[in-house]
Amino acid sequence: MKKRYSFARSLSFALTLSLLLGGFLAGAPPAGAADWTPADTNVALWLDADDASTLLLNGGSVSNWLDKSGNTRHATEATPANQPTDTAGGLNGKHVLTFDGAADRFDIDLDFLAGVDHSAFIVTKPTGYTDIYGARTVGGSNDQRLHVGFRGSSSEYRMNFWAHDWYGTVSTNFHLGQGNILNYVWVVGSPKEIFANGTSEGNSGGQLAATIGTMSGGGSIVWRTTRSTGNRAMVAPWKSHR
């Protein structure tokens, strides 16, 4: 069994609470400990909708969502009709990006996921349930068709590429109609696992995570069915969490 990293400090995301995130906590944080932020780890991608300096606006829409990790993996959308909306106070008084569930999306370079393990943290308040990140090209039959998020409904998660599908059950750990922190864990050779608000939603058992390829058609952050909101998305190297 892999040993997971134990956070010594509390984690503050865009929610109004400070909390410790699923499965990585060993005991309570020490009194007076400073809040943990993604800047304290070697993150590969950090998108923060509550940081106005990272949003390039086109009226009320967002054309660019700038990466705060220092790796310049910025999310972009040149077509105005496909740009999500900057929504002030959308989640616990924080700015969020609202996707229309039809055409809104971002293109982003996710090829850094190829051949490595990763752990992705997403803060979201969805009303539609489909992919959150992965390949721009849908379908196909190889390791370049990564799709992570939900399986088209509020009852199942999705972590897969072709012939390596796993659909985890959404439990009451996930709060329908409210803000949630989701953590998708993909460690090659180990079961895939999902955490919702700090609690494991289970793992894929004998269906082990396989090696991801480069993204077919390029990477994407996209909600494709109905209106969703999300404010922070972070993809971190697994070494930061074991």
What per-residue confidence (pLDDT) applies to 141?
63
Span 100-126, average pLDDT: 87
Q: Which two tokens stand for residue 107?
A: 């293109």
The CATH number of domain 38-241, selected from 2.40.50.220, 3.30.479.30, 3.40.50.300, 2.60.120.200 = 2.60.120.200
With cut-offs at 50, 70 and 90, classify the pLDDT of residue 190.
very high
Our CA angle for 90, 76, 179, nearest 5°, is 25
Q: What percent of the chain has pLDDT over 70?
A: 74
Supply 216's token pair: 């077919």
Determine contact, residues 150/129, Cβ cutoff 8 Å: yes
Query: Does residue 18 contact residue 47 with C-beta atoms inside 8 Å?
Result: no
Residue 57 CA to its chain's centroid (Å): 22
In SS3 terms, 100-165 reads as CCCCCEEEECCHHHCCCCEEEEEEEEECCCCEEEEECCCCCCCCCCCEEEECCCCCEEEEECCCCC
Residue 241, pLDDT score? 38
Does position 26 have pLDDT exceeding 50, yes or no?
A: no
Residues constituting the chain: 242
- Which stretch of 13-27, 38-52, 118-132 has the lowest confidence by average pLDDT? 13-27
Is the pLDDT at 227 greater than 80? The verdict is no
How confident is the model over 127-156, as a mean pLDDT?
A: 84
Three-state SS for 69? coil
pLDDT given at position 210: 93
Distance CA(209)–CA(212), nearest Å, equals 9
Whole-structure pTM value: 0.81
Query: 52-61, 139-148, 165-174, 200-209: which range is least confident on average?
Result: 139-148
Q: Provide the residue ranges of all domains of the chain, joining segments of one domain with +.
A: 38-241
* pLDDT score recorded for residue 59: 92
* C-alpha to C-alpha distance for 135 and 112, rounded to whole angstroms: 12
Please tell me the predicted confidence (pLDDT) of residue 29.
Answer: 54
pLDDT at 174: 96
Inter-residue contact 101 to 73 (CB < 8 Å): no
Q: What is the pLDDT of residues 81-97, one digit of tens each?
A: 999 888 887 788 888 88
What's the confidence (pLDDT) of residue 23? 31
Q: Name the pLDDT band for 78 (thresholds 50, 70, 90).
A: very high
- At residue 204, the pLDDT reads 96
